Amino acid sequence: MSDDAEVLQRIRAGATDEFAELVSRHQSRVFAILHHYERDVQRVEDLAQETFLKAWRALEQFDSRAPFEHWISRIAVRTALDHLRREKKHKNEIGLPELGEDALDWLRSDDEKSELDSRSAAEILELAMQELSPADRVVITMQEIEGRSVKEIAAATGVSGIAVRVRAVRARAKLKRALEKLVKT
Amino acid sequence: MNEKKLKQLFESARREQPPVPPADFAADVLRAVRQVQPAKLKEQFPNFDQLNSWFPRIALAAAAVIALCVAADYGLTAAGLPELGDGTAQASSQFVFNAENF
């Protein structure tokens, strides 16, 4: 199987249908990134399509020496950031998602050994992160959930490493406060 | 919310499975791509190409500004008014390089 650079070369030579091959190779990664910022599956699909369309439009600017996966991941993160900013503007029109019983029990429990399933954890974080700015949310999600390094976050968001560190500390503190507020309600 | 509980929250969220892309997702993207190409793809110029394409117009505008200044200078001299350079020299000697002001 040829690598991404070869597929890109064929696309640039006019074989536009080969773009489907690139999409197939990287779609899972793009869906995984976007799912951290949007829980509705249909909307994740729309955002994934937006990501690949942006990539297509900017394909001539892509430097083939860098891995395509990194580039498309950066576009996905920026698409997610735009999406969060749009959502923030219409925040009042969107009802807060309700937490399930398991999530509520875990939040209110003082027992540190109590189990929490992944779905409930994602629900809690989704709700608490609504208190964060879109940029703060992207930084904390990339650092804590995707396990990305400061350097990777800086490259994806286009800010300096120091700015990422400062934002991460601030976002974490804000998130803690938002979670404490959830426990009290 | 203590640090341990926060870590547990992140760890649990990390285990959540992302949605699987539909089987025809790549085909859908390709359909969408066909609607924006090929014009869009050809429109993408590197920055230097774009500057290159603007160059004749920028050069022409710069030449026009220079010609206008020279013409204004000649015009003012012919009319017996001080030249543009005279005003600048006067301002320099009176204010900018006037040692008495220090």
Chain A contact for B56 (CB, 8 A cutoff): no
| Shortest CA gap B55–chain A (Å) | 22
Same domain? A51 vs A115? no
Chain A, residues 24-83, CB within 8 A of chain B, namely 24, 27-28, 31-32, 35, 41, 44-45, 48-49, 52-53, 56-61
Q: Is there a contact between A47 and A83 (Cβ–Cβ < 8 Å)? A: yes
* pLDDT tens, position by position, B10-38: 998 999 999 999 999 999 999 998 887 54
Report pLDDT for A1: 46
Q: CA-to-CA distance for A139 and A132, rounded, in angstroms?
A: 10
CB neighbourhood size of B86 (10 A)? 12
Same domain? A90 vs A139? no
DSSP-derived letter for residue A143 is: I
Same domain? A110 vs A36? no
Same domain? A151 vs A176? yes
* pLDDT tens, position by position, B62-97: 999 999 988 988 887 787 776 666 777 776 777 666
Report pLDDT for A100: 77
Measure Cα distances from A31 to A37, A51, A149 in Å: 10, 10, 20
What's the pTM? 0.71
Chain A contact for B50 (CB, 8 A cutoff): no
Q: CA-to-CA distance for A18 and A140, rounded, in angstroms?
A: 35
Same domain? A90 vs A4? yes
Contacts of A171 in chain B (CB under 8 A): none
- Decide which of A73, A95, A117 is a domain's last residue: A95
Q: Is there a contact between A129 and A178 (Cβ–Cβ < 8 Å)? A: yes
Domain of residue A174 covers: 99-185
Higher model confidence: residue B5 or residue A45? Answer: A45
Q: Is there a contact between A79 and A35 (Cβ–Cβ < 8 Å)? A: no
Structure tokens of B101?
A: 């002001």
Chain A contact for B26 (CB, 8 A cutoff): yes
| Shortest CA gap B90–chain A (Å) | 49
Chain B contact for A120 (CB, 8 A cutoff): yes
Q: CA-to-CA distance for A10 and A72, rounded, in angstroms?
A: 18
Same domain? A78 vs A167? no
Report pLDDT for A94: 41
| Residue A146 belongs to domain with CATH number | 1.10.10.10
Contacts of A17 in chain B (CB under 8 A): 30
Report pLDDT for A146: 92
Structure tokens of A176?
A: 């803690």
Same domain? A14 vs A1? yes
Phi-psi label, residue B80: left if phi above 0, alpha if psi -120 to 50, beta otherwise: left
Report pLDDT for B48: 65
Sign of CA dihedral A117, A123, A127, A128: positive
- Ordered alpha helix ranges (H), chain B: 3-14, 25-36, 39-43, 47-78, 84-91
Same domain? A83 vs A126? no
* pLDDT tens, position by position, A42-71: 999 999 999 999 999 998 888 877 899 999
Calculate ∠ Cα B31-B32-B36, nearest 5°.
115
Q: Is there a contact between A18 and A10 (Cβ–Cβ < 8 Å)? A: yes
Chain A contact for B100 (CB, 8 A cutoff): no
Classify each residue of A92-118 as buried b or exposed e, where b means 16 or more C-beta atoms within 10 Å of its C-beta: eeeeeeebeebbbebbeeeeeeeebee
Sequence spans of domains, chain B: 46-102
Q: CA-to-CA distance for B15 and A36, rounded, in angstroms?
A: 12
- With a cut of 50, which residues of chain A have pLDDT below it? 1, 92-96
Same domain? A73 vs A113? no
The segment with the largest mean pLDDT, out of A166-170, B42-46, B96-100, is A166-170
Determine if the peptide bond prior to B38 is cis (ω within 30°).
Answer: yes
Contacts of B44 in chain A (CB under 8 A): 57-61
CB neighbourhood size of B52 (10 A)? 11
Instruction: Enter the ipTM.
Output: 0.80
* pLDDT tens, position by position, B47-67: 666 677 777 888 899 999 999
How many domains, chain A?
A: 2
